Structure formats: C-alpha cells, structure tokens
Amino acid sequence: MSASKETTQVRFARTIQEKGLAGPDTPVLLMVSGGSDSTSLAYLAADLHRQGGLGQLAILHVNHNLRGEASDGDAEFVRSLAGALRIPLFMVQVDIPRLVQMTGDNMEAVARQERYQAANEALESLCLHVGAPLSEGRIFTAHTQDDRVENFYMRSIVGTGPGGFRSMRYRNGSIVRPCLDVSRDDLRAYLGMRELDSAEDESVVLVRDPQGNLWREDATNAHTDRFRAYVRHKIVPVAKERNPRLLDTLCRSMNLIADEDDMLEGMALDVQNRFVSWLSESSEPRYSEGCLLGPGMAIQPKPLVRRCITNVLQLMLGDEVRVESTSVQAVCQAYDGQAPVSGYTANIQGDLAVSANKRGVRIEPMSAFRARRKR
C-alpha cells in the first residue's frame, strides 16, 4: 500500500477513534454525491467497515435535478459505486428548482434542507433494519479541511455568532464529519493511489464513470458568483500564497477555538438547565412546541444568554436549519438587563413568536401564540 494512501486511511480512522465519532457497532449512513470527497468517503468507510471499525453501512444519494443529464450521471455513478462496494443504497430525487419557485427561498438552503431531511429518514430506516436505536446511528458527510477553511472565511466576511469561528464541528448531533483532518487534495491523491493499487490487485474496488473518471465533477463549483465558490477560487488561493500550509495551520487554530467554545457551551448548558422550561407536557419535551425562558435569565452574562438562546432555537428549528443572528437578537431584546420587558413581542424565523411578561420570555409557534391571544 502506498504511503500517501495509508496516511489518508490512518488519519480517517484516527479521527473517528480519537473524536469518538463512531464505533464497530455504529450504523452509518454515507452521504455520497459522486464528487471526489464523497467518493473517497465511501471507499474509506467501506474499508474500515471490513476491518471491523464501523457497523452496517448504507449510502444516500440525493438527485437535486439541478444539472439535467449530469445529475442523472452522478446518480448512476453512485449506484455503480454502491453496488461495487456491496453497500445498500438509498436513492432520492428532489425537484429543487420547483421548491425554490414555490417557496422563494435560497436554492442552496433549500437543497441542504431537503438533503438532510432525506438523510434523517434514511438513517431511521437503516437503524430500524439493524435493530439499533436511532440515537446510535450516524450520518457521515465528506467535509474536508478545505470546506472548514472556506466556512471560516465566509463567516469572516458576513459575520457569525457564538462559536462560529470554530467553523465545522466533527460531530453535530447525528451528523459526523470524519474527513475534517484531511484535505481535498489528500482525498484525490488517495483515489489516484487506489487506482494504482487496483491495477496490481483485482480485489481493490474501483469504479469509473462512462468517461473513465474516478469521480464526478460538478461544473457549477467553478462559478464564482456563488459565495462558497468565490471564497474557494478567489480568497483561499491568495491566502495559500502567503502560507502554503494554510489548511493545517488554520484548522489547528480552529481546534483551539473549539476547545474554548466547548467550555463556554458547557456553561451555557448550565444556564439553559436552570432557566429554560419546555412547554410540552410529555416526559420527553417536544421542542417544536416552544419554551419559557425564566426571568432570571436577564441577569446572566450576555455571552451565555446568547449561546443559550441559540441552542434553544436550534432545538426548536431542527439541526438542518441555521439559526439567524437576528432571531437571537430579537429574543435578547425581550430582556432589559434586569427583567423581561412586559408586552414585548416579535416574530422570528420559522414563524416563531417571542413574547414577554413578568413570568419570563416565551418562544412558541405563531399559531399557538395567536390561539392564546384569542382566549
């Protein structure tokens, strides 16, 4: 086995082990688009599964119907990949252009939401099939050091909330990113080395598309009118001219930020446990029904309050939704520094209503708020 290929495999396995991302009995759903990163993820996970490091695998491919025949080609490539690796495949088609036209929302946001909704449903099916609790299942994505650095610069440009400069987490709920310690170039080199190995050893699985490519290239990644592509092609290369080891350097810095962020997150969770009560009456709170933030929240340190509110809104809106800073600010404004502002109301993302009185600040669906007002 080549040194480059071995290094990538070792780093992949080490990240999973050291970060506690998954284990030998963990059911894992692989999100595979057919690009170089996710194709590498499929091979790496399949090898680790055969070595006993991961539980039952499945692959999910979502066809967004954005690129016509090219999208269909991606789907066929992933179908061939899953077949060659003998991994069960979930194939989903979503008409993203139609949904964007109906909702008026940002195309990338709609695609992301639909993709993760499909992933959650597929993971539930996988866990049911293997008899494992859903809480033990994991969704693997192929985000790399490059994606993390791009996120860092994107957030530097548009601003970010608490902990934003840690960029991507290795794990966020069921979503796991085991490739965050390797670069896109590392993964492409890994595919190249795998190609050499397959020429010498027929047991090494390697899939090509009809044109002979080892992965599918999305031409829209080069469009600099898209924000991420602009950062990828215009900003990161300039930074790399100054520091060729930018990815490793900046990712180390982000990990230091993450350590401190984790400490503050623990303190914010303590505030949440003390001052947040959920409105649902079931033993397991139904977060979507809303919550009450106690009056004592007003005198807590502002950074912890912001983090607490961010966490609460994330639970209410779901993991696939990005909590907007304007929503957090709107909830913060329901306190005047000493107590809730009686009579304060606001409408925030997700059609959630924020209202305040002496008992605290209530966050709930707008429909529930209106129903209470009519009583």
Q: Encode pLDDT of 104-136 as tens digits.
A: 777 777 888 889 999 999 999 999 999 999 999
Q: In the prediction, which pLDDT does 285 show?
A: 80
Q: Which residue has the higher pLDDT, 157 or 97?
A: 157
Identify which of 36, 50, 46 has the alpha carbon closest to the alpha carbon of residue 85.
46
Alpha helices in 220-324 (DSSP H): 227-230, 236-242, 246-275, 302-317
How do beta strands 89-93 and 360-365 pair?
unpaired
* Tokens 């129903």 sit on residue: 371
Q: Is 34 annotated as a binding residue?
A: yes
Q: Is 40 annotated as a binding residue?
A: no
Region 187-194 average pLDDT: 95
Q: In the prediction, which pLDDT does 373 show?
A: 85
Q: Is 33 annotated as a binding residue?
A: yes
CATH number of 3-249: 3.40.50.620
What is the C-alpha to C-alpha distance for residues 122 and 92, in angstroms, rounded to an integer? Answer: 10
Give the chain's length.
375
What is the C-alpha to C-alpha distance for residues 306 and 309, in angstroms, rounded to an integer? Answer: 5
Cβ-proximal residues to 133 (8 Å cutoff; 6+ apart), any chain? 127
Q: In the prediction, which pLDDT does 223 show?
A: 59
Q: Which residue has the higher pLDDT, 181 or 218?
A: 181
Q: Is 37 annotated as a binding residue?
A: yes
HSE on the CB side for 287, CA within 13 Å? 11
Domain boundaries of the chain, sorted by first residue = 3-249, 279-374
Say yes or no to pLDDT of 225 above 80.
Answer: no
pLDDT level of residue 95 (50, 70, 90 thresholds)? confident
How do beta strands 57-63 and 89-93 pair?
parallel
Phi-psi region of 217 (alpha: psi -120 to 50; beta: other; left: phi over 0): beta
Q: In the prediction, which pLDDT does 108 show?
A: 79
Q: In the prediction, which pLDDT does 106 show?
A: 74
pLDDT of 335-356, one tens digit each? 998 899 999 999 999 999 999 9
What is the C-alpha to C-alpha distance for residues 91 and 337, in angstroms, rounded to an integer? Answer: 51
Say yes or no to pLDDT of 366 above 80.
Answer: yes
Q: Is 36 annotated as a binding residue?
A: yes
Predicted TM-score of the model (pTM): 0.82
pLDDT level of residue 224 (50, 70, 90 thresholds)? low
Phi-psi region of 106 (alpha: psi -120 to 50; beta: other; left: phi over 0): beta
What is the C-alpha to C-alpha distance for residues 59 and 37, in angstroms, rounded to an integer? Answer: 14
pLDDT level of residue 191 (50, 70, 90 thresholds)? very high
pLDDT of 2-56, one tens digit each? 556 679 999 999 999 999 999 999 999 999 999 999 999 999 999 999 999 999 9
Q: In the prediction, which pLDDT does 69 show?
A: 86
Interior angle at CA 281, CA 276 and CA 283, nearest 5: 85
Say yes or no to pLDDT of 174 above 80.
Answer: yes
Q: Are 119 and 141 spatial neighbours (Cβ–Cβ below 8 Å)?
A: no
Q: Is 277 annotated as a binding residue?
A: no
Q: In the prediction, which pLDDT does 222 show?
A: 58
pLDDT of 239-292, one tens digit each? 999 999 999 999 999 999 999 999 999 999 999 999 999 998 777 788 999 999
Say yes or no to pLDDT of 149 above 80.
Answer: yes
What is the C-alpha to C-alpha distance for residues 275 and 292, in angstroms, rounded to an integer? Answer: 8
Region 134-142 average pLDDT: 97
Identify which of 83, 81, 16, 88 has the alpha carbon closest to the alpha carbon of residue 53.
16
